[in-house]
Amino acid sequence: MFRKLMAGEFGQVRAEMIARDHVLSSLGGRTADEALEAGIGAKEVWLAVCDAFEIPENRR
């Protein structure tokens, strides 16, 4: 579901780039991919991405 939400919001290519490269301080200085690999829940990672990119509440 996380990947589907990311692709829906950012487009497939940009979503992959963001998940791989964008460091999120709210996830302990990890990227979304690193956070997921570390066992952080997909919902928490998605909300961190939403906060970082100021995604409106109705699209979270």
- The full set of domain ranges for the chain reads 1-53
Q: Which 3-state string (H, E, C) describes the chain?
A: CHHHHHHHHHCHHHHHHHHHHCEEHHHCCEEHHHHHHCCCCHHHHHHHHHHHCCCCHHHC
Q: How many percent of the chain have pLDDT more than 90? A: 100
Q: How confident is the model at residue 8 (pLDDT cuts 50, 70, 90)?
A: very high
Q: What local confidence, expressed as pLDDT, does residue 31 receive?
A: 98
Q: Tell me what pLDDT residue 56 has.
A: 97
pLDDT score at 20: 98
pLDDT in tens, 16-56: 999 999 999 999 999 999 999 999 999 999 999 999 999 99
